[in-house]
Amino acid sequence: MRDLKLLSVMVQAFAVSTVKVSRGLGFNLKVKKDAIVPGVKSESASAAALIGVIGEDFKGSVTLLINKKAFDYIIKAMSGGMIQSPSTDDPVSMSALGELANMICGSALQELGKSYSKHVDITPPQMFAGENLKSIPSESEDMKYYTIPLLGEAEGAKLYLVLGFR
């Protein structure tokens, strides 16, 4: 990713979109604005949803990492209370997480479209579950990473959006 200005516009678009999408779905995520940092800096998570992004000038991925408290909080909210005990092993709960990542990505690319008119394509979300789950950056010098930390309203609910592009 040579165009660092474009990357910072993307980070901004993803931060704004996450707040907007969560509000639309009936829950609140707050961006810890002063904690947005270059690189991968997240606490360990319980689940992740990754979306591949390919534009004409960049290629990479956006990963939503989420701890168990945030997972429970969000999946209960997204299912309108239908899922009372969300499990990271359950494809239904995890598909909801993927759909959240998908909506954030769609909204962010729409936002990005205001200043970047070229075509951008995305993959369907791929979900992971595990303990102590971490995104590990590549050593490759042309890969640039940004981490956007987010807080849910539930006590201890933490999420991270990790953007990695070259």
Q: Which residue ranges make up the site for its own copies (CB under 8 A)?
A: 44, 48, 50-54, 59-61, 63, 88-89, 91-92, 94-95, 98, 121-140, 143, 164, 166
Closer CB to its own copies, 121 or 153, in the complex: 121
Residues sharing a CB contact under 8 Å with residue 31, sequence separation 6 or more, in sequence order: 15, 18, 19, 148, 149, 150
Cβ proximity to its own copies, 16 vs 133, nearer residue: 133
Tokens found for residue 138: 């590549």
Name which of 76 and 144 has its Cβ closer to its own copies: 144
Give yes or no for a contact between 85 and 48, defined as CB atoms under 8 angstroms apart. no
CB of 124 to its own copies, least distance (A): 5
Rank residues 23 and 166 by Cβ distance to its own copies and give the closer one: 166
Question: Is residue 44 classed exposed, middle or buried when 0-12, 13-18 and 19+ CB atoms within 10 A define those classes?
Answer: exposed
* Adjacent-strand bridge partners of 48: 65, 128
- The least distance separating its own copies from the CB of residue 136, rounded to whole angstroms, comes to 4
- CB of 77: closest distance to its own copies in angstroms? 18
